[in-house]
Amino acid sequence: DAGVTQSPTHLIKTRGQHVTLRCSPISGHKSVSWYQQVLGQGPQFIFQYYEKEERGRGNFPDRFSARQFPNYSSELNVNALLLGDSALYLCASNPMGQPYEQYFGPGTRLTVT
């Protein structure tokens, strides 16, 4: 079975631009979470979606938004990009919102110049 997939792998954007990152969960998994990992730090929770509804939100500004589609894939959107948004964005899926079965994708490396 395919694991969690994310696209694109790498992305370079300019300050002020908008970006959309995509994630496809493992088949059968209905929950998707997004994490931001700044260089030299551990991942920080951004959003969790389960059955297309937002179930949790971390301490991130309103420039960050996300949604989950009927096929359980998800998008993370970031508006008005800042240099500090440069990071590895990780998507994780799990079957039924259980906390102990998070499977991570390879991430999208976003660089803001």
Residues of this chain that bind another protein (CB under 8 A): 4, 33, 35, 40-45, 48, 50, 55-56, 58, 90, 92, 96-100, 102-107, 109
**In this structure, are residues 52 and 69 in contact, taking their beta carbons and an 8 Å threshold?**
yes
With respect to another protein, which residue has the nearer C-beta, 64 or 103?
103
Cβ 25 to another protein shortest distance, Å:
13
| Structure-token pair, residue 3 | 């694991």
Cβ 2 to another protein shortest distance, Å:
14
With respect to another protein, which residue has the nearer C-beta, 9 or 14?
9
DSSP state letters, 2-50: ---EEE-SEEEE-TT--EEEEEEPPTT--EEEEEEE-TTS--EEEEEEE
